[in-house]
Amino acid sequence: MKRFIEGESRSQLTLMPECLEDYIGPDNPVRVVEAFVEALDMAEMGFDTSAAATGRPGYHPGLLLKLYIYGYLNRIQSSRRLEREAGRNVELMWLTGRLCPDFKTIADFRRDNGKGIRNVCRRFVALCRQLDLFSEATVAIDGSKFKAVNNRDKNFTPHKLAQRMKQIDESIERYLQELDTADRTQSPDAGRRGQHIQEKLGKLRQQMEYLRQIEE
């Protein structure tokens, strides 16, 4: 194919193989998911972090939680799709360290930890909104659309906070229901990218403790 850009040969060997870190830029939102879960107290959130003394080792709940948060943000709506993405999606390979849990393990984790997953997703969405990682919200009035310019950090009342948390809860609940429906009906064969995320990772860790205080 002359006069066209050509890719590398699939059989070409390299002296120094590329690492996964090279594929994930410093401003990739998947780094926020990693930092958030690593800062969580899993036991406090209701997850069992004890490892079995005998038998085949299991997956750490933090790893499966990263899968679900990533799936929630990217609308991956079945455990089978999460399994496939973990084996081919470079972002998930980076997030899980190339581990690829099977769909039954992923589904069982959701079944056994539904309450904890809801709590974590709720906290994650609220924290990302506070740090402006989810921006450019749109408000629709009488068929017309206007970009919201209200400062969320300066507009909190108990009623508004309750309404926002209710909306987050409903969104998470819809996602978990879609996962459950897909897992039951699917055949066995079958955010916007954040800017300056590297700078905000430090703020995210600081806000974790602050959010716990607010929750209390």
How confident is the model over 134-153, as pLDDT tens digits?
Answer: 654 433 333 434 445 555 55
The CA distance from 125 to 122, in Å, is: 5
| β-strand partners of 50 | none
In a domain, 150, yes or no: yes
What is the per-residue pLDDT across 106-115, written as a single tens digit (0 to 9) for each? 999 988 888 8
pLDDT confidence of residue 116: 87
In a domain, 194, yes or no: no
In a domain, 50, yes or no: no
Look at the block and give the residue holding tokens 């699939």.
Answer: 10
- What pTM was estimated for this model as a whole? 0.66
CA 182 to chain CA centroid, Å, is 19
Among residues 58, 70, 73, 50, the alpha carbon closest in space to that of 108 is found at 58
Range of the domain at 157: 20-44+58-187+200-215
Measured between its terminal Cα atoms, the distance across the chain in Å is: 64
In a domain, 13, yes or no: no
Domain count of the fold of the chain: 1
Tokens representing residue 63 in the block: 């790893």
pLDDT confidence of residue 146: 40
In a domain, 88, yes or no: yes
More reliable by pLDDT, 160 or 3:
3
Among residues 103, 101, 134, 139, the alpha carbon closest in space to that of 200 is found at 134
pLDDT confidence of residue 207: 67
In a domain, 49, yes or no: no
In a domain, 29, yes or no: yes
The CA distance from 168 to 162, in Å, is: 10
Q: Please give the share of the chain, as a percent, with pLDDT higher than 70.
A: 69
In a domain, 51, yes or no: no
